[in-house]
Amino acid sequence: MKDIAYYNGQIGPIDEVKAPVTDRGFYFGDGVYEAAIVRSGRIFALSDHLDRFYSSLSLLRIAPPMERDAFAALLLNLCQKVDGDGIHVLYWQVTRGNAHRRHTFPQDVKPSLMAFVEPAGLDPVDKPMRLLSMEDTRFFHCNIKTLNLVPNVMALQQAAEAGCEEVVYHRGDRVTEGAHSGLAILKDGVFCTPPADELILPSVTRLHCLQLCDQLGIPVRIAPFTVDELKNADEVLILSTGSHCVPACALDGQPIGGKDPALLHRLQQAYQEKFTAEMG
């Protein structure tokens, strides 16, 4: 099977598994999600993704669909049903459940679980991205990985139409994150990343980069940085499940980064070694 989907016990090809129209994910975005990379039936950083997933569920007061070990086993079982040893993406989401449309939480309703696995690729780490800056007008719950992504969709579409691959969100002068990635900079040999507060998603890739910096002896600064600091950084890093650690080369049409390729490549190589060691 080249791809597979799951919805509340139904299993089959992605285009055949159906969900009812009363799933609260459809009309409220009332749920949370995760995405991870799969190779040869193995899920990269599954424990870290589950940590964030169960935290998001708790923050939205949605009951987990099942106990953590059973849920991990279900995801692994789905991944092992997919043919081939290439790169796949595993996506899963849990909504508050199926109920007629009322804003308040429905009573005596079980959460709905959807998941799918399909072929995917990783962004090449040697192809720098072009960025577009814009004011971050999203809500103050960016630390929850919710289904409410319309502002991100609109922002990334605007970036694509401007010939860019990602967005640099900022609130005033403070840089927050991208539309579908985390942001970090390298400056004077230091890895700088915003704090994991309510303005950014606690990126799994960011977590891994912090761990790798500790192992490699690279100094770290966890603090807000400004748009000007990003413009003047030695390197600007895009951090995501699908790209790992990709540099940026332009912001709003002006060149950025490219001043510390040695440290950038050192961090990229360490991340690739981590990925290879875990995935085989």
- Which of 2, 81, 145, 259 is catalytic? The answer is 145
Rounded Cα gap, residues 115 and 106, in angstroms: 23
- Kindly state the tokens that stand for 117: 């696995």
Our answer to whether residue 18 is catalytic in this structure is no
Name the amino acid, one letter, at 192: C
Pick from 26, 103, 44: nearest CA to 280: 44
CB contact at 8 A, 114 and 7: yes
CB of 263 closer than 8 Å to CB of 235: yes
* Cα distance between the two ends of the chain: 22
Bridge partners (DSSP) listed for residue 240: 244
Q: In this structure, are strands 129-135 and 166-171 parallel, antiparallel, or unpaired?
A: parallel
| Reduced 3-state DSSP string for 124-184 | CCCCCEEEEEEECCCCCCCCCCECCCHHHHHHHHHHHHCCCCEEEEEECCEECCCCCCEEE
Spatial separation of the C-alpha atoms in residues 240 and 250, rounded to whole Å? 18
Give the angle 141-122-213 at the CA atoms, nearest 5°.
Answer: 65
- Residues labelled catalytic: 145
